Amino acid sequence: MREAAQQKSQELGEKPIGRLMWKYFLPAFVGVVVYSLYNIVDRIFIGRGVGALALSGLSSVFPIMLIVMAFGMLVGIGAGVNVSISMGQKDHNKAEQFLGNGLVLMILVSILVSIIGFLIKTPVLNLFGATEETIGYAQEYLNIILFGAVFQVVGFGMNNIIRSEGHARISMYSMLLSAGANLILDPIFIFVLDMGVKGAAYATILSMMGLNIWVLAHFLGPRAVNKLKVKNLTINTHAVSRIVAVGMAPFSMQIAGSFVIGLYTNQLIRYGGDLAVGALGIIFSIANFLVMAMVAINMASQPIIGFNFGARDYDRVKRTVRLGITAASVVAVVSGIIVELIPSPLVRLFNTDDPELYNLAVTGMRIFAIALPVVGFQIVASNFFQSIGKAKVATFLTLLRQLILLAPLLVFLPRVFGLNGVWMATPISDAGSALVTGIFLWWQMKKLGKEEISMEVSNSNIPKTSETEISTV
C-alpha cells in the first residue's frame, strides 16, 4: 500500500499539470455524464412512459433527493479533500482516519435522514410544489428513495474519496457500473413490469446497492492508496470536525439548492401552473448535462490542488487553477451558444406529446442559460477554496449564489416580469456571484504567492492516528 501511496504522491506532485489534468479529466467527465444519467434517464422514461403530470410530480421530489445527497457530499467531499491534503503532507495514517470516520458518518447521517424524511415527507412535498394531481406520483417515488438513502449517501460519498486519492479511473468505473445498471433496470421496471414511477425508484436504489459493493471492495482491496481499517471505524472528534468543516460548502450548496428549487416550484405554480414545474425539471436536466464538462474539469483539479497545497507547492496550485478556469470557460461559452441557438432538440428528448410543456421549456431554457458563459469560471474558482480547506470562504461563495442573490430575485422579479421573471433570476445570480468570486480568487492567489498561509488543516489540529487516541461516541 505504501508503494501505491508513493506512486500517487510522485504523480500528483511532479507530473506536468496539463497532462495530469487531462488524465484526471477524462474519467471524471465520464463519471459526471453517467451521474447525470440518473436524473435524466428517470425523467425521460417517466415522461414518455407515465406522462407529463408524473414528470411534474418527480420534479417536486428532486429537491428532497438533493437534500439526501447533500449529506453524502458533506461527508464524502469533506473526507475526500482532507484525504488529498493529508497525502500531500505524507501522513497516510491521518488519511486513513478520515476514510474510516467518513464511512461511519455517512451511515449514521443517512439513517437519520431517512427517519426524518418519512416523518415530514408530505408537508415537504407540498412545500416543493406537489399538488393534488401530482403528489401521488411524488409519494410513490419518494417512499422507495428514502428506504435506500443509505446506499445513495455511502455510494457517492465513498466514490468521491476514491477520486480524491488519485484513482480517477476507478471512480469512473464505479459510476459506469451504477448508471449502466440503472439504464437497464429503468425500462424493465417501468415498461415491462408496468410499475410506473415506483419502477424508476427501484431501479435507482438497486443500482446504488451495486455501487456500494464496488466502492467498499476497492478500499478493502490491493488498489486502494488508503485502506479501511477497523480501528478507524469509529468517531474521532477531531477528524469529524474537519470533515464537516470542509464539507460544509457543498452541503450548504445542496441544502440551499433544495430551498431554491422549492421556491422555484412555488413561483412556477403561481405564475405558470403544473406544466411550468415540469418544464423546470427538463431545464434542470439539460443544464446539468451542459455543465458536466465544467464540473469534470473542477473534479480533475481538486486532488491536484489539495495534494500540492498540503505539500506547500503553491506554484503548482496556481497553475492548476488557471488551467482549470481557462478550460471550463471555453466549455461554458460553447454550451451557452448551443442553448441559445438550438434548444428545441434538447427539450424534445423529454416530451414530444405536450406542446404547452415544450413551449414553456424552450422559452425558459433560453432565458435560464443567458449567463452560462461565466458559469465555468464560477464553478472552478469557488471550488478552489474548498480544495484547499478554506471552508468559510467556500461556504460563503456557495450561499452567495444559491441563497443571498438567487432567492430574493426569485421573489421580486416575477412580480414585474411574470413567468419570465422566474427564469431571469438564475442568470442574474450567476453573473453577480461570478464577479464576487473573482475578487476573492484574485486576493487568495496573491496571498499564495507572497506568504506562507496559515492552513485550516494542520498537523496540530488532528493528532496522529492511534488506537488509544480515538475517542468514541
Q: Give 369's DSSP letter.
A: T
Rounded distance between C-alpha atoms, residue 129 and residue 59, angstroms = 8
| Cell numbers that stand for 411 in this block | 421573489
Residue 3 has a pLDDT of 54
Start-to-end C-alpha separation, the chain: 29
Residue 7 resides in a domain: no
Residue 462 has a pLDDT of 41
- Provide the H-helix boundaries in 89-195: 92-127, 135-147, 149-164, 168-187
Rounded distance between C-alpha atoms, residue 247 and residue 241, angstroms = 10
Question: Around 197, how many Cα atoms within 13 Å sit in the side-chain half-sphere?
Answer: 26
- Provide the H-helix boundaries in 15-91: 17-49, 52-88
| Cell numbers that stand for 2 in this block | 505504501
Residue 14 resides in a domain: no
Number of H helices, E strands in the chain: 17, 0
In 3D space, the residue among 339, 340, 357 whose CA is nearest the CA of residue 348 turns out to be 357
Provide CB contacts within 8 A for 171, sequence distance 6+. Answer: 27, 28, 31, 159, 160, 162, 163
246 contacts 103 by C-beta, under 8 angstroms: no
Residue 11 resides in a domain: no
55 contacts 86 by C-beta, under 8 angstroms: no
Residue 412 has a pLDDT of 92
Residue 132 resides in a domain: yes
Residue 463 resides in a domain: no
Using alpha carbons, list the distances in angstroms from residue 284 to 36, 64, 392. Answer: 11, 15, 28
Provide CB contacts within 8 A for 136, sequence distance 6+. Answer: 57
The segments of the chain whose pLDDT lies below 50 read: 1, 4-5, 451-473
Residue 457 resides in a domain: no
User: What is the 3-state secondary structure of 407-473?
Assistant: HHHHHHHHHHHCHHHHHHHHHHHHHHHHHHHHHHHHHHHHHHHHCCCCCCCCCCCCCCCCHHHCCCC
Residue 43 has a pLDDT of 67
Number of domains present in the structure of the chain: 1
Residue 472 has a pLDDT of 26
Residue 403 resides in a domain: yes
| 247: containing domain | 21-450
In 3D space, the residue among 207, 229, 236, 226 whose CA is nearest the CA of residue 161 turns out to be 226
3-class SS of residue 358: helix
Say how many C-beta atoms besides its own lie within 10 A of residue 30's C-beta: 20
Residue 436 has a pLDDT of 92
Residue 370 resides in a domain: yes
